Amino acid sequence: MTMSEAPERRRTPGLSWYDLVLEDERPVPEHLRERRHYTATAQQVPVERYTSRAWHELERAHLWRKVWQMACREEHLPEVGSYVVYDIAGDSYLVARTRDGSIKAYINACLHRGRALKDADGRCSEFRCSFHGFTWKLDGTLRYLPAQGEFPDIEADRDAWRLPEAKVGTWGGFVFINPDPAAEPFEDFLGDMPEHFRLWDFENRYVQAHVAKKIRCNWKVAQEAFDEGLHLVGTHPQSAPYVGDSNSAVDVYGNYSRQISPSGTPSDDLPVDPTERDIMARMLDVREGEELPIPFSQRTTARDSMAAAARERWREVLGDAADEVSDGEFVDHWNYAIFPNLHPWGAYNRIVYRFRPNGDRHDECIFEVMFVTPFSGERPPPAPVRRLDLDDSWTLATELQTLALVMEQDTFNMTSVQRGLQTTRRTHLLTSNFQEGLVSWRHDLLTDWVERTANKAAGGGTGT
């Protein structure tokens, strides 16, 4: 994989986001508009990565048991003894706040005869197994066992019967875990990503809405629906007048990447050019003949007007710092992705996505949408999770407002993509060389994490 400095000829013609934001009244700062183009190793993705049980088992062993992954938010562990059960691909972890305030993650299994220590999130003073009562302190040391004289192995070395741990790292108010004792430090894994997010201050945000929906597709099918703007006109035609999908920025930085779609500017694929007032009306969902709810002068653009209105809205939380924020940060769709499965939207959009297999299934996933929102004053409690089953509609999640319709449109494709993948006679999918760069990037990383390691292990090499 290589980065290229002169990729313009590879993308659809038209003004790109990197140039568009220079025309804003307040341009996006230089470090946030640096081009980091990605040349994929291959523009073909093996179909078996979505359909094969064997590939899923490899992901479980070489990806999910090895990689840094978001388990919860710090706010989900507000007090000593608060814990979250984090399930991933058949494995389960207990993420808990200990007495010294630190966060620890344990394999969620009793060391006696294996019962899961906890079945659901909660709060406790110690981890007591419901089967025979073995008990561990919050710091993982063994506190109590019944019929002591009957367990000489434990009596010989109590310390060996601590709860096994996964590593823990935090960033932006998110708690990440890594089950691999030999994992690279979390900071190295993230690289300079925190620098991008520094001013957006994800620590001081709270989970305002949290919806988890089961979908009949592989977790990557769901995730890849949010990796590119190429599907905008086909899937979300209502947004085409105000989202410049083909002008998107696509950048890759090691373990994280981003795709930024400009807003307040139309898609190049529209057959007619909408007026600036039309663009505003579509963005704000204003019907024919109705007044625009925000000030708009014919001398300005829709983009300028939307940025000015957003700046005033955010002033309540950001104070005068709102004047330092660029227009692009207020209006554009900054979709960041952290390998393998987290999408924290950047800037002042509050959307966060996470994608996981549903239990240990390779053909179903859980797709979560959160609104992670700034607040002023006291931190509000995080929203409880609204769980939507396989056949539930996103429109039940009224807390997602207009995003629920967008999710419904995206999900409509997902189960059909999975069905198509299971019947196609082709062995590989195609990805475009610019707009679908994030799909290719993740598959290149999966090749490194899963395929190469599995091949090494099969060949008797040192890979684990």
Which span sits near Fe ion by CB under 5 A: 295-303, 365-373, 407-415, 441-449? 407-415
CB of 341 to Fe ion, least distance (A): 17
Question: What is the three-class DSSP state of 344?
Answer: strand
Question: Which residue, 110 or 230, has its beta carbon nearer to ligand FES?
Answer: 110
Question: What is the closest distance, in whole angstroms, from the C-beta atom of residue 148 to ligand FES in the complex?
Answer: 13
Q: Among 129, 193, 209, 370, which residue sits at the site for ligand FES (rule: CB under 6 A)? A: 129
Q: What is the 3-state secondary structure (H, E, C) of the chain?
A: CEEECCCHHHCCCCCCHHHHHHHCCCCCCHHHCCCCEEECCCCEEECHHHHCHHHHHHHHHHHHCCCCEEEEEHHHCCCCCEEEEEEECCEEEEEEECCCCCEEEEECCCCCCCCCCCCCCEECCCEECCCCCCEECCCCCEEECCCHHHCHHHHHCHHHHCCCEEEEEEECCEEEEECCCCCCCHHHHHCCHHHHHHHHCCCCEEEEEEEEEEECCCHHHHHHCCCCCCCHHHHCHHHCCCECHHHCEEEEECCEEEEEECECCCCCCCCCCCCHHHHHHHHCCCCCCCCCCCCCCCCCCHHHHHHHHHHHHHHHHHHHHHHHCCHHHHHCEEEEEECCCEEEECCCCCEEEEEEECCCCCCCEEEEEEEEEECCCCCCCCCCCEEECCCCCHHHCHHHCCHHHHHHHHHHHHHHHHHHHHHCCCCEEECCCCCCHHHHHHHHHHHHHHHHHHHHHHCCCCCC
In the complex, which residue's CB is closest to Fe ion?
410
Please choose which of Fe ion, ligand FES, none residue 131 contacts, taking the beta carbon within 5 to 8 angstroms, the exact cut-off set by kind: ligand FES
**Site size for Fe ion (CB under 5 A):** 1
**Candidate segments 130-138, 144-152, 214-222, 403-411, binder of Fe ion by CB under 5 A:** 403-411
Q: Give the one residue of 102, 131, 412, 422 binding ligand FES; rule: CB under 6 A.
A: 131
The one of Fe ion, ligand FES, none whose footprint includes residue 410, by CB under 5 to 8 A per kind, is Fe ion
The smaller minimum CB distance to Fe ion, of residues 163 and 407, is found at 407
CB of 89 vs ligand FES, minimal distance in Å: 23
Nearer to Fe ion, 140 or 344 (CB): 344
In the list 75, 410, 436, 444, the residue contacting Fe ion (rule: CB under 5 A) is: 410
Q: Does 132 bind ligand FES (CB under 6 A)?
A: yes
Q: Cβ 147 to Fe ion, closest distance in Å? A: 57
Compute the least distance from the CB of residue 149 to ligand FES, in Å.
Answer: 16
> Could you say which of Fe ion, ligand FES, none residue 13 binds, taking C-beta under 5 to 8 angstroms by partner kind?
none
Q: Which of residues 97-126 bind ligand FES (CB under 6 A)?
A: 110, 112-115
Q: Do strands 142-144 and 333-338 pair parallel, antiparallel, or not at all (unpaired)?
A: unpaired
Size of the site for ligand FES (CB under 6 A): 10
Least Cβ distance, residue 236 to Fe ion (angstroms): 6
Least distance to ligand FES, CB of residue 154, Å: 12
Nearer to ligand FES, 31 or 113 (CB): 113
Nearer to ligand FES, 16 or 108 (CB): 108
Give the count of beta carbons closer than 10 Å to the beta carbon of residue 24. Answer: 21
Of 131-139, 257-265, 305-313, 328-336, the segment contacting ligand FES by CB under 6 A is 131-139
Residues of this chain that bind ligand FES (CB under 6 A): 110, 112-115, 129, 131-134
Residues at the interface with Fe ion (CB under 5 A): 410
